Structure 1
């Protein structure tokens, strides 16, 4: 990916700026591909992330702060994400009997089913996105990104 060509400039971009632009372009491309693969299921990347977090709870309820802490993309609209998943019957929400201010959220069987469908598609998409990298290169890339 030639950054200068993509952003249509003839002047050389300083290495630091070029790196940031490059990372941003790659992130945007991955997000576009993820969004496209989730579109048939009618959910966003953020909603998908919430469902995965809830699946990881292994049938234990989570509250909004737990979900927000674990989100890949931190957002303030977690309540709206949960509301949209509620409307699709992918999650249930109930008020904790011991503490009425605490809201408990769990994934439903329907939510688990849709996640299982998405898992196969997502696995293939990830393989396709990274097809030009060897295992060694992927390990090196991850090691470099861990420096953030």
Structure 2
């Protein structure tokens, strides 16, 4: 289905507008489908992103600015996200012994277990989304998206 059909446009869209609308609509669709996977686990996509960042630290603590710079959504309120994960027992937060203004965040065993449970579902979801394109098309799409994003 074309973007014009989806938004029920009666006139053709200018190519730049069509491109932006296609990207935005696709991003929303991807976000909704991903949220459906996370919903039974009572975490948001942003919280999931924080957990994955912390898992990638391989047992080393991360401060708030490291988490923020690695977030997919740069507008996320990292402190609020960490607070919610803390209440769920998925992360710990401690004051840095060397700098009392700095907070160190680490993923807990419960957080790691949650990611281990989610990993196969997320992998299957991503594989399903990619299944309509060949490997060459996926490479080309990534190249185009990176080129488009680096204006």
**What is the match of residue 136 of structure 1?**
136
**What is the match of residue 105 of structure 1?**
105
CA RMSD of aligned residues (A): 0.8
**What is the match of residue 77 of structure 1?**
77
Provide the TM-score with structure 2 as the length reference. 0.96
Query: What is the alpha-carbon distance in structure 2 between the residues aligned to residue 120 and residue 34 of structure 1?
Result: 13
Instruction: Structure 2: state its 5+ residue gaps.
Output: none
Larger RCO (alpha carbons 8 Å, 6+ apart): 1
- How much does 1:129 deviate? 1.3
Query: What is the alpha-carbon distance in structure 1 between the residues aligned to residue 102 and residue 121 of structure 2?
Result: 35
Provide the TM-score with structure 1 as the length reference. 0.97
**What is the match of residue 67 of structure 1?**
67
- How much does 1:76 deviate? 4.6
Residue 104 of structure 1 aligns to a residue whose secondary structure is: strand
Query: What is the alpha-carbon distance in structure 2 between the residues aligned to residue 23 and residue 93 of structure 1?
Result: 36
- How much does 1:75 deviate? 2.2
CA shift digits 1:8-52 (9 cap, x unpaired)? 111000000000000000000000000000001100000000000
Aligned pairs for 1:1-148 (under 5 A) are: 1-147=1-147, 148=149
- How much does 1:98 deviate? 1.7
Query: What is the alpha-carbon distance in structure 1 between the residues aligned to residue 71 and residue 62 of structure 2?
Result: 13
